[in-house]
Structure 1
Amino acid sequence: MKAVIFDFDGTLADTLPVCFLAFETVFKKFDNREVTTEEIIEMFGPSETGIIRKNLKNNNYDEAIELYYEIYQDQHSNIVQNNEEIKTLLEQLKTNGYKLGIVTGKARRSLDISLDCLGLNTFFDVIITGDDVEFQKPNPEGIYKALENLNVSHKEAVFLGDSEADIIAGKEASVTTIGVQWLPNIQTIEFKTQPDEIYSSMKGFLRFLSIL
């Protein structure tokens, strides 16, 4: 194994609550509509801009998108806590020579906000966002792009994610696929598509890689 590729929301950072707040604010202001967490999760797939353009009835999309990012940035430090265990995990992986990547449906703009706020900018050798692909997870396009950029084969990489779409994408890309449930807020409680492994602790994953 040479590379570890991560999903972001719910996998590397507990960012789902700030995503939900930003979407709730947008739909309330522009559609006067209350949306539940479950409804928002059902919209997941496209980037934030894609979700708004696809699901907002009001056609002031650009203004709505700007409000989303305003809320996301302004409330990020209040809602999303720095996770030292995640930083330690990434540091251990780098120390042990692994190439690291992110494949996320998030737009580059929101991912950059999160990476900056959480001090995670320097760890990754490749980042593939929702802006970089034509087809979102569960399509494996993003994982294929990451493998190509990292110059590793599917047999040399592992992909970690918290959602059903992550697991399907990993399976489709023929990489070892890990379901993670180690953060407070995750998208999928029970996977219908079975990952190769499921971990509720980062130490368990490190043992899987024989680092601990």
Structure 2
Amino acid sequence: MLENIKMVVFDMAGTTVDEQNVVYKTLHKALNAHGVAVDLNTVLRIGAGKEKHQAIKDVLVEFKSNKLGESEAIFEEFKRMLDEAYENLEVKPIKGVENVLLNLRQKGIIVVLNTGYNRQVAEKLLEKLAWDKNIHYDMLLTASDVEKGRPHPEMIHKAMEAFNITNARFVLKAGDSAIDIEEGKNANCGVTIGVLSGAQTKEQLEAQKPDYILLSLSELV
């Protein structure tokens, strides 16, 4: 699986980080608070892995909601609620994943973390985990660092460019949502992996035909 791989690009929440789905639970609450009667499973199905303002808009479009004009207000409410939720939240790595990151870097494989969160949220997660750049990972890329969010491959292309990797077949992409797999396929990654440690089910991941589906990233090495 890791043969010829020079770089791995791992999603954060549900893939490397266990934050008890707090982001999607908060997104769900923010939508409900604005009168959008959507359940959590639907939010996970539509929004998992996406930049969060886009996720809100996609939920509203799917529900043919008349609240589309309020998407910015819902997003601002979501960010406020999320800051509050994060203050007391215990964040920990998915079991075994920290060792995977350290082992990959020891083998000389570049580790990139990428996420549909903005940089502020992602850095807060890393701070809570006490993960350090150049020890646990080589680069962090977030939705606010690019013009086009997932499933567009801009984050992966940006990472490749930063480390002078010109051929995506040397890149492995792993994540817990179908949009992670789609992002990897759109970038022509050599290996795409779905993991069952996060937001979506095996059936939802299989829709994008990943090369492998693992219980978690701890099975990678």
Structure 2: tracts of 5 or more residues without a match: none
**16 and 51 in structure 1: CA distance in 2 versus 1, 3 angstrom threshold:** farther
Distance 2:193 2:37 in 1: 31
- Normalising by the residue count of structure 1, what TM-score does the alignment of the two structures yield? 0.81
- Counterpart residue number, 1:7: 11
Q: Which runs of 4+ in 1 moved over 6 A?
A: none
- Normalising by the residue count of structure 2, what TM-score does the alignment of the two structures yield? 0.78
- Counterpart residue number, 1:104: 115
Distance 1:66 1:164 in 2: 24
Distance 1:148 1:90 in 2: 21
- Counterpart residue number, 1:39: 42
Cα offset, 1:28, TM superposition: 3.4
The aligned amino acid for 2:182 is: I
Cα offset, 1:204, TM superposition: 3.4
- Counterpart residue number, 2:212: 197
Contact 2:27 2:78 in 1 (8 A): no
Give the one of 148, 154, 172 matched to 2:186: 172
- Counterpart residue number, 2:138: 125
Give the one of 24, 35, 41 matched to 2:28: 24
Matches within 5 A, 1:8-157: 8-15=12-19, 17-29=21-33, 31-41=34-44, 42-44=46-48, 46-52=50-56, 55=60, 57=67, 58=70, 60-61=73-74, 63-77=76-90, 80-122=91-133, 123-152=136-165, 153-157=167-171
**178 and 105 in structure 1: CA distance in 2 versus 1, 3 angstrom threshold:** same
Cα deviation code 1:133-181 (max 9, x no counterpart): 2222222121111111122231222111122111122122111233232
Contact 2:56 2:75 in 1 (8 A): no
SS at match of 2:149: coil
**118 and 134 in structure 1: CA distance in 2 versus 1, 3 angstrom threshold:** same
- CA RMSD, aligned part only? 2.6
Identity over aligned pairs, percent: 25
The aligned amino acid for 1:170 is: G
**91 and 21 in structure 1: CA distance in 2 versus 1, 3 angstrom threshold:** same
**71 and 177 in structure 1: CA distance in 2 versus 1, 3 angstrom threshold:** farther
